[in-house]
Amino acid sequence: MKKIYLKKGRDESVRRFHPWVFSGAVAQTVGNPAEGDVVAVYSAEGEYLASGHWQIGSISVRILSFDGDPLSPTFWEDTLSAALAARKAMGLTDSAKTNCYRLVHGEGDGLPGLIIDYYDGVCVLQAHSVGMFRAKNQICEALQKIYGESLKAVYDKSSGTAPFKAGLELVDGYLWQAPGFEAKEQAVLENGHQFLVNWTEGQKTGFFLDQRENRALVERYARGRNVLNLFCYTGGFSVYALGGGAVHVDSVDSSAKAMAMVDRNVALNGFTPEQHGSYCADAIEFLAGVDEAKYDLIIVDPPAFAKHRGALRNALRAYQRLNARAIEKVAPGGFVFTFSCSQVVDKEDFALAVFSAAASTGRRVRILDRLNQPADHAVNIYHPEGEYLKGLLLYVE
């Protein structure tokens, strides 16, 4: 196996199971590793520490194992079975009400650079590293073994995420399909609600599985309310709100494709067009035009405003402005469910932005709940950076 040696004293974070080796910690490489190769990591004193994918850039190795061999024939089957066992323990694999979940959440599952979402037998894989991209066929074979007959297809959707240099065209496509399986979308069940998921044309892997628990909370608070769902994508929160007895729900997203899916999802769950309004629009402009007190439950789930540290200040200002508008507009005694999925915006930053927003409106606001990503979007305790989704449930007097 190709090897790297760390600089003296730079082995501490690896010994504490942090899954990355930064380029500044590397003293020497042996065997001239190419990007995506599995390398063994040694301390300056020559002690074996871990093995992982070699990368070009500020992170040199993304660790796959601290005690095993990522090149062993059973590595993928073993690690994916462990991920599946964890989902089973979470009650996600044999639920009559939910048949979709995240099977692999990168570092959270000890597999940096890999995302696999499971949609009732269809696995959608996204490689965020060259090493994971190169391993995709082995991963696909392991998925066939761990799921057996219940697997319908494995779809690779890495073209937008695998960091290959420009010039190399990546094409998304099926790595495997069960005989006769031709669907490009299918309906999945989440907490008893049905959602069409189109993994080929949808955003990310097709559906935002990370809002499952927060949607259930919206359902609990929706009875008798007029609901506004901003940045609704395919209408996850909208369907739950209707299911929870909302009087009326308006859904807003700037993507026409997403809005077409919202209408289909609303109908699929048996709700009528009278109960629901669809608006393909900029959510911020839409909110600016909303009459005060028209809605008594507003959901604000924008895309990541900051994709890197450098964008943090502007992002916080954007969260503040958006939340100020939502708090200002919600009816007295109403709720605002507000989220940020920017990894670089931490809980405290976000709470501060929402606090400033509230203060600027002069309204009385209580925090009823602090919201998170669900268990299947696991956070590795040695890699707290894996925490990205945060939210607040506000009650506005």
DSSP per residue, 202-228: SSTTSS-GGGHHHHHHHHHH-TT-EEE
Q: How many residues bind ligand SAH (CB under 6 A)?
A: 20
Binding test (CB under 6 A) with ligand SAH, winner from 76, 208, 240, 305: 208
Mask of contacts with ligand SAH, 143-172, x by CB under 6 A?
------------------------------
CB-wise, 65 or 340, nearer to ligand SAH? Answer: 340
233 binds ligand SAH (CB under 6 A): yes
Task: Look at the block and give the residue holding tokens 């979709």.
Answer: 100
254 binds ligand SAH (CB under 6 A): yes
**Dihedral (Cα; 361, 367, 369, 372), 10-degree rounding:** 50
DSSP per residue, 6-23: EPTT--HHHHTT-SEEEG
Task: Look at the block and give the residue holding tokens 């507000």.
Answer: 338
Both tokens assigned to 175: 């790595």
Question: By CB under 6 A, which span of 14-22, 65-73, 225-233, 290-298 interacts with ligand SAH?
Answer: 225-233
Is residue 64 within 8 Å of residue 76, measured between CB atoms? no
Please state the closest distance from residue 229 (CB atom) to ligand SAH, in A. 7
End-to-end C-alpha distance for the chain, whole angstroms: 63
250 binds ligand SAH (CB under 6 A): no
258 binds ligand SAH (CB under 6 A): yes
CB-wise, 81 or 255, nearer to ligand SAH? Answer: 255
255 binds ligand SAH (CB under 6 A): yes
Task: Look at the block and give the residue holding tokens 């789930």.
Answer: 301
Q: Is 140 a catalytic residue?
A: no
DSSP per residue, 339-378: EE--TTS-HHHHHHHHHHHHHHHT--EEEEEEEE--TTS-
CB-wise, 112 or 302, nearer to ligand SAH? Answer: 302
- Binders of ligand SAH among residues 267 to 286 (CB under 6 A) are 282-284
Binding test (CB under 6 A) with ligand SAH, winner from 37, 107, 296, 301: 301
Both tokens assigned to 145: 């073994």
Is residue 244 within 8 Å of residue 220, measured between CB atoms? yes
Please state the closest distance from residue 285 (CB atom) to ligand SAH, in A. 8
392 binds ligand SAH (CB under 6 A): no
- Contact residues for ligand SAH (CB under 6 A)? 203, 208, 211, 231-234, 236-237, 252-255, 258, 282-284, 301-303
List, by residue number, the catalytic residues. Answer: 341
